[in-house]
Structure 1
Amino acid sequence: MIEASPRIARLERGLFYTFLVLLFWLPIPLGSHRPWAWALLEVWSFCLLGGWLLVNTYSPRLHTLKPFAPLLALFALFQFWVGLQVLPLPIGLLEMLSPERAGHFLSANPEAISGTLSLDPNQTRVGLLKGLSYWCLLFLAVALVNTPQRLKQAALVIVITGTFQAFYGVLLALSGSETTWILGFPNNTIATGGFLYKNHFGNFLVLCLCFGIGLLIASLSRRQAGSVREFLRGTLATLMNGKAVVRLCLAMMVIGLVMSHSRMANTAFFASLSITGVLGLLLIRKKSRSLTVLLASLLVIDLFIVGSWFGVEKLKNRLENTSFSGETRDEVVRDGLRLLEQYPLAGTGGGSFYSSFPAVKGADIQSFYDQAHNDYLQFAIEFGLPATLLLGVAVLWSLFHAFNALRQRRDSLMQGMAFAAVMAIIAELIMLLTDFHLQAPATAVYFLLCLALAWQARFMPAEKRAG
């Protein structure tokens, strides 16, 4: 790579810090799940990419992204498909890709020569712009977060963001205020932070918790304690330095997670922590006793001590009293499958679920559902099975690299980040079963960061140590 001039280096450094500011901002305006908020996200991300391309013009560095090319290509191919959904296609091609959709056009106009795959082209265009901004941020995550030091800084910003959201959510829930302090939405004793929907808030905190746990694991000493005195001395040193601050941030986020009363987010967090903890103990080479102590403390302290003060018993009762007879989400899945049967290959078009679902909704569903409350089903309905499987390949490939990093990397930071990536992907795969988390831009972007983290943990060169 050609050495950059001081001015170009400052520009590139400024882009990195502006990227971090964006990460902090994303969850604040209702998870960026409003048109004006995601419009700001789009402009911000496109400008950042434009700035990076300018830097690359004077200091070529595109070749450094070669290890991440498959991940970027898979998501670029997916966005190409979404763009194809809104393009007018010849009626013959439309009949091949979506006979049902072609039949609609021909029944309305037997002379029709073209038509779109999407049932709601306007919403698909909106989704396409959002998707392109997501791709830009995925690209920037691997292009700007290009050193171990920056990786650590980005993870720390994500932990700070989650802590801020948790603190604000808990404070607001305990305040007794009838409305939120910002935008004046109804408020109760359930923590939602900058989000409007408690499950989105819980999901977001889980992803931030994964980064925090990864940072803690990265900071553990790899030196084996020879005696009880050395072990106690190392533990005391941990409490006296910055690791203790990260540990307090994790405790704050766990309080926020429990007070969100999100059943699936809490279940996914503790399930993914348990699964990844066992995998970490099996796969990480030269693990220290402190790793086992840390993982045990995360489960015991957070669940049984912190949780008991802030409502884990209420959450337990809600889980025990959960009944599908009082829910209609399973009926939504049932009727949604009918849409999937009608449009299995091409889908109904990105963002079209809310307008296409009423046509197949059963009489036993009285509520209006603008989302499927199951992202697996919604993606399959809107984008078709092949495109959804393409995304599945990207996620599972990322998980594969995270596993390999956990097993093969010797660097403590890369091991910690690999642990965070594995845990985040497992947790998200669980949570997507019962809600529409990836429809919220803040959550979607943070999950993409987790996928990028898996590849970075596998391929990023370790930090060179003096001596």
Structure 2
Amino acid sequence: MWTLFAFGGLPTWTLAPAAAAIALAAVLIRPQIPHPTSRVLDGLLLACVACAALQLVPLPPGVRNTVSPHALTVDRALRFDASAAGSRTLSLDPAATVRALGIAVMLIAAFWTAREAVARGGIRPIARTVCLAGFVVSVVAMTTHYTAPRLLYGIWSADTLRSPVYGPFVNRNHMASWLVMALPFAAGYLVARIARRGSVAAGVDALSLWIGGAVCAMFAALVVSLSRSGAVGIAGAAVCGGLIAVGRRGSGSRRWLLATAAVALALFASMPISSQLLARFDRLEQNASGGRLQIWRETLPIVRDFTLTGVGLGAYHTAMLVYQRTDRTRLFNQAHDEYLQLATEGGLLVSIPLAAAAAFLIAAIARRLREDRSDGFWIRAGAVSGLAGVMVQSLWETGLRMPANGLLFAVLCGIAVHGRPARET
């Protein structure tokens, strides 16, 4: 959870400790690669890395202009030496692509390690760490929101002009992404503890009460963030969790999910700031002509011009220096749509293996949900709901670009597809 509290992992200097920790965990746990039950998925993940790495290979001018004919146009607009002969990469910003590729490798390693750790019965430390981190970061975020809304941790100023920071993140929507994933996972862990003990009296102990408090704190922090995408994301997570519960025949745990939903609604209704969040939804129509719609319109020409190879992972902002036509007072440095940005940066070169990996991941998750008959099922269900929620939010946000969010996403994927039911609760 280092990256969560280290400003979401946004500064590059915060990534080295995270990479070292993941490498150490991988050495100690020694995950099977490829995993016997996920050989195709693991192979596709490696293919994604290989295809992204191709964007960093220097190509002769003739080859580069053939596979990416508009790259020279961008070079001429941004570089004094654009006309000089010499090999260049497909990526318009090689340094940004190196960083993005390094983060991608780190996330894949975290996924493999988490999958193996949970299969060996290591769900308890992961779940409790997420609950503890969620509680602490939520309290910190809400406290600083009301005391120093434009200072990270109430101390450091952030490079943001249009919206207040939230917790360790410079963008409230990015913090909302983390909460959208962590909250359902923690709720699933709570339901699993109660279900395993067979009754309320046996299941509700000091630890369960603490987990419940962490869930409430995270929900409150999500509301206080006033993030519309976060609100829609958590609604998507709730729908996913409800559908999973309906499909879980013969389980009395469904009533606990209904109780959780009732508590969430009651908590939302009791918070005065809830009206401000609802008011932000009312302003969607009047802002429809600008904002994200404007960004999406100006992104589509990049997708069209770089369909085959993309502009390079992490190079969206570089391409937008040339393609942005309106509102030049600020740079559109993200597409505010994870899928659109992936298409822009990766092109078909990266998008095809990535889409295939996503399809195999979803199929593996569905299979595990059908097979898992243990009480630990609800932990898996919580992880899946969190993943579904953030994927809904990603329709108009790019919170998964933050390393802290990406790492939690990778860990939840490992929990969702692990091969044996998690029995520790």
Q: TM-score, normalised by structure 1?
A: 0.80
Task: Give the match's secondary structure for 2:143.
Answer: helix
Match of 2:4 in 1: 27
Cα distance in 2 between the residues matched to 1:91 and 1:81: 20
Residues 1:319 and 1:461: Cα distance change in structure 2 (over 3 Å): closer
Q: What are the Cα deviations for residues 116-149 of structure 1, in whole angstroms up to 9, with x where unaligned?
A: 111111221222222222222222222334323x
Q: 1:460 aligns with which of 395, 420, 425?
A: 420
CA deviation profile, 1:395-447 (whole Å, cap 9, x unmatched): 3332332223323321110x113312331222111111112212210011111
1:451 pairs with one of 407, 413, 419: 413
Task: Show the counterpart of 2:362.
Answer: 399
Contact 2:61 2:85 in 1 (8 A): no
Distance 1:417 1:130, change over 3 A: same
- Alignment equivalent of 1:88, drawn from 58, 66, 80: 58
Residue 334 of structure 1 deviates from its aligned partner by 0.7
> Match for 1:76 among 37, 46, 49?
46
Cα 1:398/1:250, change in 2 over 3 Å? same
Paired residues for 1:235-250 under 5 Å? 235-250=200-215
Q: Secondary structure at the match of 2:250?
A: coil
Residues 265-314 of structure 1, C-alpha deviation per residue, up to 9 Å, x if partnerless? 11210232123213321x213211xx232222222211233552252222
Q: Is the 8 A contact 1:264 1:434 kept in 2?
A: yes
Residue 119 of structure 1 is matched in structure 2 by 92
For 1:240 and 1:46, locate their aligned partners in 2 and report how far apart those are by CA, in whole Å.
Answer: 36
Q: 1:97 aligns with which of 61, 67, 81?
A: 67
Alpha carbons 1:257, 1:266 under 8 Å: kept? yes
Equivalent residue for 1:171, pick from 103, 124, 143: 143
- Identity percentage over the alignment? 21
Stretches of structure 1 that go unaligned for 5 or more consecutive residues are: 1-23, 225-233
Give, in whole Å, the separation in 2 of the partners of 1:136 and 1:223. Answer: 34
Query: Residue 378 of structure 1: CA displacement?
Result: 1.1
Q: CA deviation at 1:110?
A: 8.6
* 1:210 lines up with 2:187 in the alignment: no
Post-superposition offset of 1:153: 2.0
Is 1:442 matched up with 2:382? no
The one-letter code matched in structure 2 to 1:428 is V
Aligned to 1:344, what secondary structure does the other structure show?
coil
* 8 Å Cα contact 1:191-1:260 kept in structure 2: no
Q: Is the 8 A contact 1:191 1:259 kept in 2?
A: no
Give the alignment partner of residue 147 of structure 1, picking from 120, 140, 152.
Answer: 120
Task: Give SS of 2:129's match.
Answer: helix
- 1:377 aligned onto 2:310: no
Change (3 A) 1:47 1:361: same
Equivalent in the alignment of 1:19? none
Partners of 1:123 and 1:64 in 2: CA distance? 29
CA deviations over 1:354-410 (Å, ceiling 9, x no partner): 111121112355421211111111111111134224223333332332223323321
| Corresponding residue to 1:284 among 248, 253, 273 | 248
Indicate the larger mover: 156-165 or 387-396: 387-396
> Is this contact kept in 2: 1:192–1:260, CA < 8 A?
yes
Q: Please list, as runs of the form range in 1=range in 2, the aligned pairs for 1:305-454 lying within 5 A after superposition.
A: 305-309=267-271, 311-323=273-285, 324-325=287-288, 327-364=290-327, 366-413=329-376, 415-454=377-416
Which has the larger share of helix? 1
Name the SS for the 2:36 alignment partner. helix
CA distance in structure 1 between the aligned counterparts of 2:115 and 2:196, rounded to whole angstroms: 27
Alignment-derived partner of residue 10 in structure 1: none
Once the 2 structures are TM-superposed, how far is the Cα of residue 251 of structure 1 from its aligned partner? 0.7
Q: 1:198 aligns with which of 161, 164, 172?
A: 172
Q: Which residue of 1 aligns with 2:131?
A: 159
Q: Could you tell me how far apart the structure 2 residues matched to 1:104 and 1:314 are?
A: 42
Whether the 8 Å CA contact 1:336–1:372 is kept in 2: the answer is yes
- In the superposition, the TM-score normalised over structure 2's length comes to 0.88
Quick check: 1:132 aligned with 2:105? yes
Deviation at 1:30, TM superposition (A): 1.1
Contact preservation (8 Å) 2:173, 2:227: yes
Distance 1:126 1:190, change over 3 A: closer
Letter of the 1:116 partner, please give it: T
Does the CA contact (< 8 Å) of 1:348 and 1:383 recur in 2? Answer: yes
**Structure with larger RCO (C-alpha < 8 A, sep 6+):** 2
Structure 1 residue 62: deviation in Å? 3.5
Change (3 A) 1:369 1:161: same
Q: Give the one of 262, 284, 293 matched to 1:300.
A: 262
Structure 2 CA distance for partners of 1:299 and 1:359, relative to 1, 3 Å: same
The one-letter code matched in structure 2 to 1:154 is I
For residues 86-116 of structure 1, give each alpha carbon's deviation from its aligned partner in whole angstroms, at most 9, with x where no partner exists: 111345543553233378889955965x431
Distance 1:387 1:236 in 2: 52
- Paired AA for residue 436 in structure 1: T
Task: Spell out, residue by residue over 1:205-253, the C-alpha distance to the aligned partner (whole angstroms, 9 max, x if none).
Answer: 11111211221232243798xxxxxxxxx33333335322211111111
- Quickly say closer, same or farther: Cα 1:212–1:364, change in 2 above 3 A: same
CA contact (8 A) 2:191 2:257 kept: no
Q: Which residue of 1 aligns with 2:236?
A: 271
User: What is the rounded CA distance, in whole Å, between the counterparts of 1:176 and 1:37 in structure 2?
Assistant: 23
Separation (CA, whole Å) in 1 of partners of 2:371 and 2:74 = 54
1:303-353 Cα deviation digits (max 9, x unpaired): 233552252222111112223346322111111110110110100111111
The Cα shift of 1:80 comes to 1.2
Following the alignment from structure 1 to structure 2, what is the Cα–Cα distance between the partners of residues 322 and 298?
29
Query: Aligned AA for 1:37?
Result: T
User: In 2, Cα distance between the equivalents of 1:285 and 1:439?
Assistant: 37
Letter in 2 for 1:81: C
Equivalent residue pairs, number: 417
CA distance in 1, matches of 2:75, 2:221: 50
